[in-house]
Amino acid sequence: MFRAIRRESETMMIDRDEQKIRKAFSQIQVDTESLERKVRENMNTKKIIKPTPLKRTGFAAAASIAILIFLSVSVYAAATLGVFDRFMEEHDPAFGEVVTPVEMYTVEDGIRIDIIAAQTFGNNALMYLSVQDVSGQNRVTEYANIAPFMNLPRDEERLMGIGIFGGMAPFYFDAATNTAYFQLEFQDVVDIPNVFELIISDVRFETRRTEMDFPVALSALSSAQTVQNPMYIPGRDFPTWCAEYILVPSMGDNFPALPGDGWISNAAIINGNLHVQIATPVIETTELGGRSANGNVISGATLTQNGNMVAPINQSFVQVDANLQGLSLYQQQSMSPEELGEWVRNAPYHISEVVFPIDITALESYSLTLIGMFEHSVAGNWTMTVCTGETSGQMRLAASDVIVGGAVVESVMVTPLGVSFSGIVDGGIADGAAAFRGRSIYIETPAGNILVQENPSVVFSEMYGTDAIFTGFARSESPIDVAEVTAVVIGDVRVAVE
């Protein structure tokens, strides 16, 4: 949770003139690659240039206007310089020594988001950012959070064309300036470039998690009819984020009603797998930009067996129309981007279906829980292009193709942030999850073994036949001196560092 402080300072506001200037400059097309390179170079330059006054006549007047525009852009870019130094001095974040100053911001709907610092190491990224309400409404509180993702190039290895979001930790809350600070971590299936686009689509001012038992006994569930998932891409192997078939959506007439927004659309046990499908209305925003009504949404489900969490096989997300029909791939391809966007905006319901492996002979040992969220938020498009430094010299590879619990670990890398690993396991996600369950990760140094993380996170990104591709990350609590690492220990398997 946040630490709150009080200090004598003015709340930073964006005045109308600055908003007009930004709007005008947003219409100017520039060579962003060249500008970015120059800004990066000038950020580390302390020299102050004092322009010589010019006579504003004829051609000289036009030239002076161009210089004025350039200087205005420079002032706007430099307005955030110093944010990094203040942040480091006041908060001393654990990974402050390994991140690169970014110091850029964007404002929408009265919410200013600053990216203070960031860094990428292989397929992992870490960044510090702040969220401030500059509208005077003081909507940002210590309970605030955000919905970030990285917009990365789509290719055969990267799923969905976006980064895999690894985690977000509320770092600090400054009550005097109504500013919340966050530490973000991303993990992808391939290396993250050192220039990437960060998009934040939602700023949540208040979020409360609620839980309730599934209102139907698992023994009362039977098989059910399925339909082709309209979001499934034919010809691709079976991915974890989008099943080929989902249960037939319904308005929930065969299931008990749930409190708040959302209902049980369908649930069934098919071929040893438990399917739970939840439907929610697409919540519109109010005039103030917040969620309508009470914002209480049933958002998903979790399954435990004898108290132990059961990892899902896959989860699908589909937006449907008033008849609970989604768009097939053929329909999507036949529509223009504008038509498709209009359909998505007007589709009133959102369907999510999660599938768990289950032992049908021991149903009494399972507990199914529905997860609810109460939210008050504002939707938007806070987008910034982040440029970090070169870090290849701060990473070390360990020996590859080692066997851990039946999984083939093809790559192990040590970075200041922790230990990342990837590979393949025969038998699918269930066997893959079992291969790493209970295995802690250590780094071996001349001073002895140091625990990096117990039960590291492992993401099974895609399946090919009976094989599951995985990527995992053990996060260190403080920066690792990679030069001191001689080996990585996964459970009882030692992997020497090259």
DSSP for 313-379 reads SEEEEEEE-TTS----HHHHHHS-HHHHHHHHHH--EEEEEEEEE--GGGGGGEEEEEEEEEEEEEE
- Say yes or no to pLDDT of 245 above 90: no
Q: At what angle do helices 16-25 and 58-78 cross, to 10 degrees?
A: 110
How far is Cα 435 from Cα 226, in angstroms, rounded to an integer?
31
**Burial state string for 471-486 with b = 16 or more CB within 10 A and e = fewer than 16:** bbbbbbeebbebeebe
pLDDT above 70 covers a percentage of the chain that reads: 71
Per-residue pLDDT tens over the stretch 137-156: 999 988 888 888 787 765 54
Q: Give me the mean pLDDT over the 295-301 stretch.
A: 73
Tell me where in the chain the CATH 2.60.40 domain(s) lie.
1-27+87-193, 395-496
Mean pLDDT of 255-262: 82
**pLDDT range class, residue 134, cuts 50, 70, 90:** very high
Alpha-carbon distance 295 to 314, whole Å?
Answer: 26
pTM: 0.58
Cα gap 228→243, rounded to integer Å: 9
| Residue 450 CB partners (closer than 8 Å, separation 6+) | 442, 443
With CA atoms as reference, report the closest residue to 218 among 12, 320, 64, 363. Answer: 363
Average pLDDT value over all residues in the chain? 75
pLDDT tens-digit series, residues 209-240: 778 899 999 999 988 888 877 766 554 444 45
- Whole-number pLDDT of residue 151: 76
pLDDT confidence bin for 116, thresholds 50/70/90: very high
| Range in 66-80, 96-110, 111-125 with the lowest mean pLDDT | 66-80
Cβ(423)–Cβ(411) under 8 Å? yes
Q: What CATH number belongs to 1-27+87-193?
A: 2.60.40
Two tokens at 242? 């989008």
Residue 429's pLDDT band (cuts 50, 70, 90): low
CATH number of 395-496: 2.60.40
Query: What pLDDT is stored for residue 136 in this prediction?
Result: 92
